[in-house]
Structure 1
Amino acid sequence: MAVPVLMPDRPEIRLTEYESVLLEHIQLTRRDVERLGALQARKRLRLDQVAAGWRLTADATVGVLTLDRVRLVIEPKFAIPGEQLMNWLAYALDVPTPLETTARRWTTGSEGYADLVAAALLEQCEQLVREGLRRDYVRRQHLDTVLRGRLDITAQVSRRYGQLDHLHTRTFDREAEIWDNRVLSAALEVAQRYLANSELARRLHVLAEAFPPAPTRGAALHALDRIQYTRLNSRYRPAHTWARLLLRGGGFTDLLTDHGSTADGLLLAMPALWEAVVRRLAIEAAAPFGGNPVTAGSTPVTVHGDLGNASTFRPDVLLEFPGPASVARTLLPLDAKYKRYDRHGVSAADVHQLVTYCAGYTARGEQRAVIIHPAPGGHTQRVLHVDGTQGILGTLHVLGIDTHVSPQHGALWARSEIRWPQTDDIYPPVVRQGRPGLLRRLL
């Protein structure tokens, strides 16, 4: 099998989030326009035809997209610096962060995010090969000259007409050709198509030969959705997480789909990444105080009577805390905002949204909600008080998480800065002794 050949003659066009670039007519084929149009329909970028060609404007999306004649590289602009992106992505996916040596090896060049994800998959797959690939029982049918396994009498009679020179048999042996391994082969093959680093592509190609192949990319994705993890295959979970990211071409929202034709690339929706980060961060920060996530969809705020279907309001995270004796539970809604609220005020639309959460999920006297946004310059916090003629409508706690530090550090800071419901009753003794002033403070 030949080593995949990269295309150095394909020009690379680099831009950042929300930045625009002008492409000549000759740089985009008709198929490229269809692909970009599919992404525009999902509000991931914008493509406008102008006199000089095409104007491409990136949205809150980062990654690489290899088209027929150009290679687009979209880099993070403000929220999460490139050297920290893999740490926050691994935190959101709840998988081990790639080793520092691996990350450093692939950040020395200009390849960026796409090559880092491929390197993370490479690291996990190499570890599986070193430990030995998992084997499981696989049913197979054979035509052989000796009897091995069970004789398939129906096939023997209908196909051999009683002849015994060859035997149709069925076996049930432990083999490595199972979907746990096949999906990784498919991901390793896909990752090679858009890499700019030839050495990384070569290592992926060599490693892919150690895994049994998958018939198609779609079959591998279907198998990933059906895999159940037990103590026998739990070690495969990190590798499968990176594989799913690569096979879907874009992580949390399956960004790269264009109704049948595919482009080679890996695009990540930054708002979706931030929502996943906030979801895990909030759960970890609330756990010491008895907080547990609940499904907001089970009790959404619903609007009835309008034209069309009823609309609903659901926070990104809804935490439940033990209430006092007279109240069964206390709820705290949190929402992730991928905006620079450390530099400008909270928009009226977001204030209205959070006040709706206060009215729909919290009890009178406890109308509180939390906004969590990225703040690259350092942790920030402030409080918005929304008042009406009948009193306080809601208290909005606006927390900025410093994305230049580790996400675990951000979770610890949020734990100390938020006034959790019923804090005086449910703080564990260890927590109360730690930072009582901060823990009891109302932002």
Structure 2
Amino acid sequence: MSAGPWVGVLRAADVEVRVRPRITIARLMYLLGYAQDPRAWRDDPVALDDQPDLWPAMAQVFLRRAEDALKRGLLQGYRTEESHQMVMRGRLRESDQLRRRAGLPVPLEVRFDEYDVDIAENQIVRAAVERLLRVPGLGSGLTRRLRHLLGRMVDVRRLVPGQAVPATPFTRLNAHYQPALTLARMVLRSRSVDVLDAGVRATGFLVNMNTVFEEFVTTALSQALVPCGGRCVPQDQRYRLDQAGLIQMRPDLVRYGADGRVQAVVDAKYKVEKPAGYPNADVYQLLAYCTATRLKVGHIVYAQGEAETDEVVVRNADVLIRRHALDLGLSVASLQAQVADLAQEIATNQAPNGVAV
């Protein structure tokens, strides 16, 4: 049995399976956090050496940030509420009043602003607490702190299951909530499994390392390429491989110059793809990206240890595929310096014949 790209925990009846990443938990937390918010994320001072698994570490760091955010009490704000009232409040929703209460003076269908704690920021934090409380094996100490935090949020409504996590634009008023919100979104983005089959309940919380690495690379390179000018578009969906436009392509990162022409295309791979019969699938994929964007140079970024750093010159195509590797075991400062060097190399390997969009 292979866990593939997934790390996390899965429990079925009395059997529990924990899949740990090859990198340290502290480094995984950094990759997750930086991809979510590169402006605010930094190495967390919480010691994670005694947390060999992802989810206890996630709960530990989240609790520290959430408890810091709530030291001043729950954040309050305005939200728009629509309901029916026996007295006039706010503004009358005339169309709803006519449709629902034709001929009746009361109740009134009104819209008004409410100032309380039932706002998006607190709803997101509550949802993350509830998600973490379902993770098996957190331990009594973390569980007790999570329950205490949940008890402080009784006046905050739960997010509807399946509902998109609401946006929370950064403001001066919610600035102290941002670290907790970043971690809460990380928790909510994880893949949860809760299945009842033949009377046996299976519960799990998993993170895809392919996705983690891909999002870190695209975010970090986009940030590092800002001083070089142009703009970067992650997961660009505008390209098609065939003339009929049926085969859609989505490179992990496309860099455009000021003139709108493609200057670089980048693909991030945590592991070398080796499907049966196609041992060099990563190179085939990037060659297709270069063909669609009319570039002569393309870049693949791996986690170090998964591939050698080298160049592939494609026959009969005049295309060069550069393969790079990021050492995730370096210190954060050294890893950022490595990303900066890679960004500089990508910026200087411009292809002026790239297609204009």
TM-superposition CA deviations, 1:307-354 (whole Å, max 9, x none):
xx922222111111346xxxx53420000112259xxxx943222221
Partner in structure 2 of residue 14 of structure 1:
none
Partner in structure 1 of residue 34 of structure 2:
91
What secondary structure sits across from 1:58 in the alignment? coil
What secondary structure sits across from 1:410 in the alignment? helix
Partner in structure 1 of residue 309 of structure 2:
381
CA distance in 2, matches of 1:301, 1:259: 42
Partner in structure 2 of residue 320 of structure 1:
256
User: Is 1:419–2:355 an aligned residue pair?
Assistant: no
User: Is 1:247–2:188 an aligned residue pair?
Assistant: yes
CA distance in 2, matches of 1:63, 1:299: 34
Partner in structure 2 of residue 399 of structure 1:
324
Q: Cα 1:176–1:414, aligned 2, differ >3 Å: closer, same or farther?
A: closer
State the percentage of identical aligned residues: 24
Shift of residue 140, structure 1, vs aligned partner: 9.3
After the TM superposition, which of the residue ranges 182-191 and 200-209 deviates more from structure 2? 182-191
The count of aligned residue pairs is 330
TM value normalised by structure 1? 0.62
Q: Cα 1:131–1:64, aligned 2, differ >3 Å: closer, same or farther?
A: same
Shift of residue 113, structure 1, vs aligned partner: 0.4
Shift of residue 355, structure 1, vs aligned partner: 1.6
What secondary structure sits across from 1:207 in the alignment? helix
Partner in structure 1 of residue 141 of structure 2:
199
> Do the aligned residues in 2 keep the contact of 1:382 with 1:398 (CA within 8 Å)?
yes
Q: Which ranges in structure 2 are unaligned for 5 or more consecutive residues? A: 93-100, 351-357
If asked which structure has higher relative contact order (CA below 8 Å, sep 6+), I would say 2
> Do the aligned residues in 2 keep the contact of 1:374 with 1:403 (CA within 8 Å)?
yes
> Do the aligned residues in 2 keep the contact of 1:224 with 1:240 (CA within 8 Å)?
no
Shift of residue 182, structure 1, vs aligned partner: 2.7
TM value normalised by structure 2? 0.76
User: Is 1:355–2:284 an aligned residue pair?
Assistant: no
Alignment RMSD (CA, Å):
4.1
Q: Tell me which structure has the larger Cα radius of gyration.
A: 1
> Do the aligned residues in 2 keep the contact of 1:331 with 1:362 (CA within 8 Å)?
no
Shift of residue 419, structure 1, vs aligned partner: 2.9
User: Is 1:113–2:38 an aligned residue pair?
Assistant: no
CA distance in 2, matches of 1:91, 1:199: 27
CA distance in 1, matches of 2:35, 2:270: 15
Partner in structure 2 of residue 211 of structure 1:
153
What secondary structure sits across from 1:419 in the alignment? helix
CA distance in 1, matches of 2:34, 2:172: 22
Among candidates 362, 369, 373, match of residue 298 of structure 2: 369
Q: Which ranges in structure 1 are unaligned for 5 or more consecutive residues? A: 1-19, 21-56, 160-168, 425-443
Partner in structure 1 of residue 353 of structure 2:
none
TM-superposition CA deviations, 1:238-262 (whole Å, max 9, x none):
32332233334x2xxx464769999
> Do the aligned residues in 2 keep the contact of 1:88 with 1:407 (CA within 8 Å)?
no
What secondary structure sits across from 2:309 in the alignment? strand
Partner in structure 2 of residue 69 of structure 1:
14
Shift of residue 369, structure 1, vs aligned partner: 0.5
